[in-house]
Amino acid sequence: MSGFGQGAVALVTGAAGSMGLATASMLAAEGYRVAMADLAGAKLDAAVAGIGASARGFGFDISDPAAVETAFRKIESDLGPVDVLINNAGILSNNKVAETTPDEWRKVLAVNLDGAFYLSRLVVPGMKARKRGRIVNTCSFAMKSGGLTAGTAYTTSKGALAALTFSLARETTSFGITVNAIAPAYIRTPMVEEQLTQAQRDALLKQIPVGRFCEPEEFAHCVHFFLSPLSGFITGEILDLNGGLQFD
């Protein structure tokens, strides 16, 4: 069992957002060197500064394949080979099918799905050569429920990300790589606190058996679980993080 942590390089996308930042913080505390990827700007700079020396910020648009390739090469030249990739950047759209414009559809798929593909195609060859790697994708409960509040493009993007998880897991497991995903529901983030109405939040809290929203640190803990050497027999798994909303 080859271990991770202690100097291994983890690339976290959406790292200036709530769940990405909680994950980057946890991985830095566990001894990883963390490449924090997000759109360039003050939010990313502040997130990196908050973690300190073990984090480096890389600002780029995950939906732009040329920008992703340039950034990935820089990350590997600055920090070394990427051992762990957390595909977490994402945008929410709550519009149902008739209200979803073709531009909105393309944008949501480009960020939530294409970005994970662009980074995976760059990181997997090196992981295969080194016979070591972990990939964790942030899916969503929406893909299982059809979207209680989430819209058509978002729900579809996360379902396709689950299929990408299975495809990568099938291809890479015999190379010492695991590829898993997490399907969270309603983490206490701006997506929930700002993009849902108070009435939607009240209704949801009545439906979630645990009786509260999930904390970003609980998501980070799930990521960390997949990175443990003792998780090396788990691949192609979609871990539910939904407070009992649904079992399967």
Ligand X SMILES: NC(=O)c1ccc[n+]([C@@H]2O[C@H](COP(=O)([O-])OP(=O)(O)OC[C@H]3O[C@@H](n4cnc5c(N)ncnc54)[C@H](O)[C@@H]3O)[C@@H](O)[C@H]2O)c1
- Residue 90 or residue 243: which is nearer to ligand X going by CB? 90
* Least distance (Å) between residue 132 CB and ligand X: 25
Residue 59 CA to residue 92 CA, distance in Å, equals 20
- Closest separation between CB of residue 131 and ligand X, Å? 29
Q: Which is nearer to ligand X, 118 or 132 (CB)?
A: 118
The CB-of-129 to ligand X minimum distance in angstroms stands at: 27
Choose among 34, 40, 44, 38: nearest CA to 11.
34
Q: Which run of H or E residues covers position 120? A: helix 115-130
As annotated, the active-site residues are 154
Letter string b/e over residues 67-95, b meaning 16 or more CB atoms within 10 A of that residue's CB: ebeebbeebbeebeebbbbbbbbbbbbbb
Give the residue closest to ligand X by C-beta. Answer: 17
Alpha-carbon distances of 141 from 144, 198, 241, rounded to whole Å: 5, 20, 8
Closest separation in Å from C-beta 170 to ligand X: 23
Q: Please give the distance of CA 208 from its chain centroid, rounded to a whole number.
A: 22
Instruction: Enumerate binding residues for ligand X (CB under 6 A).
Output: 14, 16-20, 38-39, 61-63, 88-92, 111, 138, 140, 184, 186-187, 189-192
Angle between helix 18-29 and helix 42-51 axes, rounded to 10 deg: 30
- Find the Cα–Cα–Cα–Cα dihedral 110, 20, 9, 63, rounded to 10°: 10
CB of 229 to ligand X, least distance (A): 25
**Judging by beta carbons within 10 Å of its beta carbon (0-12, 13-18, 19+), is residue 17 exposed, middle or buried?**
buried
Question: What is the separation of C-alpha 205 from the centre of its chain, rounded to a whole number of angstroms?
Answer: 24
